[in-house]
Every structure is written in structure tokens, then in C-alpha cells.
A and B are shown apart, each in its own frame.
Chain A
Amino acid sequence: MAHATISGAPAHGGQGSVPPGHHVQGGHDEHHDHESLKTFGFWMFLITDCILFGTLFATYLVLRFNTSGGPTAEELFQMPIIIAETFILLTSSFTSGLAVLEMKKGNKKGLIGWLAVTAALGAAFIALEVSEFVHLVHEGATISTSAFLSAFFTLVGTHGLHVTVGLVWMIALMIQLAQRGITPVTDRKVTIISLYWHFLDVVWIFVFSLVYLLGVM
């Protein structure tokens, strides 16, 4: 059913992605423009998200020495776990790229397979982060201990939340891909989640550098 749309016929078909009021003339071309506009819209979201993280980074950098007699960054951070998290996330960014490559080849199994690997790596990252937070709280370093820790948990926690949302989204998309196959709509969705995942990797690189590396220096 869904494939009727792709094979050049006007995009009137049963696909929910074309708004009712949308005047379709050019068939595939029009549809493609619509999908690429959505990708552009997602770039806009990423840029606003960048500014959100920028604000949290600024807060952290300003407050990082205000430990109020509590533990400092140097005493708290366990670098082996952080290094493992970093390499897991870098690898998952790579595997999400491989998923997009498989999609371009039209290989649905390969696409879902690499997305599953990416999701598994993302889940491993979240598990390590949660265990790190639990460890910190056991050490008596909670979000209300000092301004430094409030800023730390807000920044790192916001990134973790983004990864968790991406994970749920990716699993939902894998189900949709299994049902519908590779269509222009699922193609765009995979492109977008891949962009999102690379973006999270970029944010983590700055968390790793500015929070952890500068913290233990």
C-alpha cells in the first residue's frame, strides 16, 4: 500500500504525512521537498537545543568551584566509567551512520540491525550513567549538596534525558520500519534520528571535555 506513493504516483495516497490541505502537483518531487523541509526543521530544533545546552554549560562553568564545603569534581569523578561511556557513545554515533548507509542501499534488515546495535550501545551508556549517579548520591553528593553539584546534575542529567528519549524514539522507529519498510517517510525519520544521535554525541564530547577532563585536571 505505502509503496504506491513512492513509485512516482502523486502523493495523494493513504499516507498520513501529507496534510489534507496540501496541494499536490509534482508527485515525488513535491513529496521530496516536503520531507527535506522537515529535515531542515529538525536542524532548527537542534540549534535551539544547542542554545539550551550552552546555557547549562555556562551555568556549570560559572558554578563549578562553588562546592560549599562539599566534595569537589576531582574527588568525585571516576574516570574509567566516564571513558567507557565516551567510547560507547562515539561507537554508537558511528553505528547509527552505518544504519543510514544500509538504508541508502535499500537493505531493511541491515538498517534495523544497525539501529538495534546503536540502541543497545545507547542503553549501555544510560546504564553506566545511572550507576555513576547512584554512586555519587551514595557518596553524599546529591543535587542539593552544592551549587557545583546542582549545575552538574542538571547539565549531565539533561544530556542523559535526551539520550533516553532518543532510545525510546529509535525503538519505536524500528517497529515502524519493520511494518512499513523503507519509504520516503521512514527514510526521513531515520535521517533525522541519526542527526539527533550525532548531535547528542557532540554534546557529550563537550560534557566529557569541559566537565570531566577540566574537572580532574
Chain B
Amino acid sequence: MAQHQTVSNGHGGHNGGHGGGHGSLKSYVIGFALSIVLTIIPLVVVMNGMLGRVGMTVVVLAAATLQFIVQLVFFMHIREEEKPRYNLMALLLGILLLLTIVIGSIWIMSMNVVAH
């Protein structure tokens, strides 16, 4: 028990100096509540067939993107990172590559008459 005391003190103090990086109970609860809401909205819209096809697609994509941001901020603590924000920069590059692959593939294949 006493050993654990040392561990948590030493470590906690250390992290405190760096600005933490693991959030609080409050941030987890807020994140969880937001992610539930952002799941229910597109679900209700799609299951009841509200809005047109384009409208539903926009709602689904918007909710998914917001949900992604909620997970990054409240659960993965991307904002509480230490100074040179390498994680964030690498993530942005990753997302750029990802969107290029996904949107590029859809665009190219939409030109392909055989595919349809």
C-alpha cells in the first residue's frame, strides 16, 4: 500500500508539471453523453426515413465526424498533449491521406462505367 502511495505521488506530480494528459471524470462523462446523443440522432433520422436521401447522408456523415472529434478530445485527450503537437500533426497528415484515398477512389470509380 505504502509503495503505491509513492508511485502515485511521484508520477502524479510529474505529470502535473507537464499539464496532465488524462482528463477527469467530468470530461469522460460529458464525452460519453455526447457520443450517445450523436449516435441516436442519425439513427432516428435514418430509421424514420426523415429528410431526403441527400439530407440523411449529410446528417450521418456530420454526426460521425462530430463523434470522431468528441472521442479525440474527451477520450484520447489530443488537446492536452505536450508542447510540440506531434500526435496532432501526424493525425492531420493521416486524415489528409485517408480522405485522399476514400474520396479519390469514389471519384475515380464513379467515372468507370463498368462498375455500375
A contacts, CB < 8 Å to B = 3, 6-8, 28, 32, 36, 40, 43-44, 47-48, 50-51, 54-55, 57-59, 61-62, 65-66, 79, 83, 86-87, 90-91, 93-94, 97-98, 100-101, 104-106, 108, 181-184, 187, 191, 195, 198-199, 201-202, 205-206, 208-210, 213-214, 216-217
B contacts, CB < 8 Å to A = 3-8, 10-12, 14, 22-25, 28, 31-32, 35-36, 39, 42-43, 46-47, 53, 56-57, 60-61, 63-64, 67-68, 71-72, 75-76, 82, 86-87, 90-91, 93-95, 97-99, 101-102, 104-106, 109, 115-116
In whole angstroms, how far apart are the Cα atoms of A213 and B48 in the complex?
A: 12
In whole angstroms, how far apart are the Cα atoms of A6 and B3 in the complex?
A: 10
Given contacts A62-B115, A198-B71, A209-B63, contact A181 B4 (CB under 8 A): yes
Q: Write out the residue numbers on chain B whose beta carbons fall within 8 Å of the beta carbon of A87.
A: 36, 39
Q: Write out the residue numbers on chain A whose beta carbons fall within 8 Å of the beta carbon of B75.
A: 93-94, 97, 198, 201
Q: From residue B38, how far is it (CB to closest CB) to chain A in Å? A: 8
In whole angstroms, how far apart are the Cα atoms of A12 and B64 in the complex?
A: 46
**8 new A-B pairs (CB below 8 Å) besides A101-B25, A104-B12, A106-B5?**
A7-B6, A28-B14, A47-B91, A62-B109, A94-B28, A94-B32, A206-B68, A217-B56
Q: A interface, by DSSP: helix, strand, loop or mixed? A: helix
Q: From residue A178, how far is it (CB to closest CB) to chain B in Å? A: 14
Contact of B60 (CB < 8 Å), options: A58, A104, A198, A209: A209
- List 25 interface pairs A-B (beta carbons < 8 Å), by A numbering: A6-B6, A7-B6, A7-B10, A28-B14, A36-B82, A50-B95, A54-B102, A58-B102, A58-B106, A62-B115, A93-B32, A94-B28, A97-B28, A98-B25, A98-B28, A106-B5, A106-B7, A106-B12, A181-B7, A182-B4, A198-B71, A198-B76, A202-B67, A202-B71, A217-B53
Most buried by B among A97, A198, A216: A97
Q: From residue A2, how far is it (CB to closest CB) to chain B in Å? A: 9
In whole angstroms, how far apart are the Cα atoms of A54 and B102 in the complex?
A: 6
Contact of B98 (CB < 8 Å), options: A50, A65, A101, A198: A50
Q: Which 5 A-B pairs have the closest CB atoms?
A: A106-B8, A47-B94, A54-B98, A58-B105, A209-B64
In whole angstroms, how far apart are the Cα atoms of A191 and B20 in the complex?
A: 13
Q: Write out the residue numbers on chain A whose beta carbons fall within 8 Å of the beta carbon of B53.
A: 217
